[in-house]
Amino acid sequence: MNQQHLPEKKALNWAELGFQYQSTEYRFRAVHRNGEWSEGELITDKMISVHEGAPALHYAQQCFEGLKAQTAPDGRVLLFRPDLNAERMRQAAGRLLMPHVPEELFIKGVESAVRANYAWIPPHGSGAALYIRPMLIGVGENLGLKTAKEFEFRVFVSPVGPYYKSAGLATISLAVSDLDRAAPAGTGNYKIGANYAGGLLATRQAQELGANEALFLDARERRYIDEAGSANIVVAMTGGRFVTPGSSAVLPSVTRRSIMALAEQELGLKTEQRGIDLRGEIADFEEVAACGTAAVISPVGKILVDGNWHSFYGNGEEPGPITQKLYELLVGIQRGEIADKYHWTHEVSI
């Protein structure tokens, strides 16, 4: 598309956007039938019509991804490590006995949806982004507990603001949940809808206690940190250590993986991925943050453990210097403001 003939941006108050669904004109759709994927196409219908017996409805045979498109200062449209999202969906599909979406089709679907909805991509400096939701669902006639005969891969997009309502790097709080998120050999490390539905009650209970989110501990001993309701956890500890849970039950976050690399290579921290004994090590916590595509990196000011609040850097009122620097590095690369020496960004040709 010629830069001189790009469609005008939508007349939105970009800086005031929340993290809600906003309908856009186009979405990408491909169908798997008789063992083959269709080429895929752009469609305008935002509704999905499925048979009442679809395994996605009865047996949660569905998975999804989340990534963002952002506008660089020079006008380029950038994705962040979409190949890792494609790989994570492939792993989830295999766990649920669904056909994997080839990386070429995944990237094609994402790029097509972004390109077709160019007018909805927030401008640089607005603080907003275009959220991208690829999804794979089992459809078609079915009743017994078995894999679907047909599948639909769809990608839709929506302009969004920050996941948490507070602007900037305002701190959030977590409350340890009495509920289990995932069994050690279950599906917790796959991005599938059933895991999130199971966490809704824990989040509500945490909010009733005055926290933003629930914090899950391991299901075996309820001792080690797993993850928050909608994000992974990273902890800056005494002695220059930067630690993230080593649990096999947590989602392999693209954002967390990137943050750990930045912490080691840019800040010179000693990074570790291991079990974090919450009660036994909380006295060594200097900074805590929740991270993910939606949350980016959100400082955790305090955690409610056994009825007592534990606060961190600045008495839990402001982000610590490590969290602040990692946020600046991460979003700087994502937005094309910092040279991408890691080759993490992926330009969408417009």
Task: Please indicate, yes or no, if residue 288 is contained in any of the structural domains.
Answer: yes
Average pLDDT, integer, range 274-291: 98
Task: Please indicate, yes or no, if residue 166 is contained in any of the structural domains.
Answer: no
pTM of the model as a whole: 0.95
Residue 138 CA to residue 161 CA, distance in Å, equals: 31
Q: What is the pLDDT of residues 124-167, one digit of tens each?
A: 999 999 999 999 999 999 999 999 999 999 999 999 998 876 55
Average pLDDT, integer, range 217-245: 96
Closest CA to 299 of 314, 288, 313: 288
Residue 344 CA to residue 273 CA, distance in Å, equals: 21
Encoding tokens for residue 11? 């007349």
Query: Which domain does 238 fall in, by range?
Result: 172-334
- 68 in catalytic set: no
**305 SS3 class:** strand
Domain count for the chain, please give it. 2
What is the pLDDT at residue 1? 46
Closest CA to 216 of 174, 163, 246: 174
Clarify whether residues 181 and 328 are in a common domain: yes
Following DSSP, what letter does each residue of 239-263 receive, concatenated?
TTEEEEE--TTS---HHHHHHHHHH
Q: How confident is the model at residue 207 (pLDDT cuts 50, 70, 90)?
A: very high
The one catalytic residue in 68, 191, 270, 325 is 191
CA angle at 18 for the pair 155 and 257, rounded to the nearest 5° = 60
Clarify whether residues 143 and 182 are in a common domain: no
Clarify whether residues 254 and 138 are in a common domain: no
Average pLDDT, integer, range 167-190: 89
What is the pLDDT at residue 163? 83
Closest CA to 130 of 80, 164, 170, 193: 80
Cα torsion through 332, 109, 32, 187, rounded to 10: 10
Q: What is the pLDDT of residues 18-66, one digit of tens each?
A: 999 999 999 999 999 999 999 999 999 999 999 999 999 999 999 999 9
Q: Which residues contact 268 (CB under 8 A, 6 or more apart)?
A: 240
Clarify whether residues 207 and 136 are in a common domain: no
Clarify whether residues 254 and 218 are in a common domain: yes
Average pLDDT, integer, range 226-233: 94
Residue 5 has pLDDT above 50, yes or no: yes
Tell me what percent of the residues of the chain surpass a pLDDT of 90: 91
CA distances from 347 to 24, 181, 198, 202 (A): 21, 36, 36, 38
Give the count of beta carbons closer than 10 Å to the beta carbon of residue 15. 12
Q: What is the pLDDT of residues 307-329, one digit of tens each?
A: 999 999 988 889 999 999 999 99
Task: Please indicate, yes or no, if residue 259 is contained in any of the structural domains.
Answer: yes
What is the pLDDT at residue 282? 98
The mean pLDDT value of the chain amounts to 95
Task: Please indicate, yes or no, if residue 301 is contained in any of the structural domains.
Answer: yes
Q: Which residues contact 71 (CB under 8 A, 6 or more apart)?
A: 77, 78, 121, 122, 123, 124, 335, 336
Report the DSSP pairing between strands 62-64 and 41-43.
unpaired
What is the pLDDT at residue 164? 77
Task: Please indicate, yes or no, if residue 341 is contained in any of the structural domains.
Answer: no
Alpha helices in 97-215 (DSSP H): 103-116, 193-197, 200-208
Average pLDDT, integer, range 84-100: 98
What is the pLDDT at residue 4? 59
What is the pLDDT at residue 3? 59
Residue 292 has pLDDT above 90, yes or no: yes
- Boundary residue ending a domain (119, 142, 161): 161
- Boundary residue ending a domain (129, 161, 193): 161
CB 50, CB 306: distance < 8 Å: no
* CATH number of 91's domain: 3.30.470.10
